[in-house]
Amino acid sequence: MTAIETGHPSLSAEQQSLLPPLTTNGDDTTRSVKLTNWRRTTFVKLQAVPRAQVPISFGLIQPTDAIFACEFNRGESFSANVWIALPLEYPQKAPLLIVDSIKEPAASMNQDKATDSGLSELHLQDLEAETNCFWNEFFPNLTSTTPNGVTSSLPGRWDSNILSCQLARCASCLEALWIAGSNAVTSARCVKYPTRSRPLRYLPSIGAYCHR
């Protein structure tokens, strides 16, 4: 948790290889998304977040969970507010991340053009799915594939850095959302389809984001 509080989630070399490589450009607008302003908050405050209402109503977030909030930033123009519900059973049970809001240059410069960014509820749902549903991809030794192709969890204790992996993937997905809507030159490409939301799954083998 100390590493997360300082904005540097701790991942193994194998886990880091599943994410886009860090850029070395000194320009703040093209550097990787950074985790900032990590802080402890309360379940009561989370209840006031509109996008948290559904998981709370389904019991996916409990009053006993430890609630945190943080920000992700890319330069001075891009930012996102994210809430984290850490269950008492962690790491046997994974945390849940809720994307509260995302700010892009179009929204910050002219409120009337906030929708020009192209980010919709579908984009936020896809981002949350990547962080909350596919975090086990960082732990290939703890999963198995059944004959019908369904991946199931093997019994045993999950590693203790699940949250770090989720936060790192969240940063990667935000980077994908933001670079897909700009002309920035980055170390990763986006393979897009016209009828789909922006791709968020990063494939190290081709160095590009794609759809699942």
- CB neighbours of residue 100 within 10 Å: 16
> How far apart are the C-alpha atoms of 196 and 210, rounded to whole Å?
11
Task: Give per-residue pLDDT as tens, 41-92.
Answer: 999 999 999 999 999 999 999 999 999 999 999 888 889 999 999 999 998 8
- Confidence at residue 92, expressed as pLDDT on a 0 to 100 scale: 87
The mean pLDDT of 10-18, rounded to a whole number, is 89
Band (108; pLDDT cuts 50, 70, 90): very low
**CB-based contact 65:85 (threshold 8 Å):** yes
- Confidence at residue 77, expressed as pLDDT on a 0 to 100 scale: 80
- Confidence at residue 157, expressed as pLDDT on a 0 to 100 scale: 45
Name the more confident of 186 and 46: 46
For residue 194, pLDDT beyond 60: no
**CB-based contact 173:210 (threshold 8 Å):** no
3-state secondary structure of 7: coil
**CB-based contact 88:63 (threshold 8 Å):** no
Whole-structure pTM value: 0.78
Q: Mean pLDDT for the chain? A: 79
Task: Give per-residue pLDDT as tens, 196-208.
Answer: 567 788 888 788 7
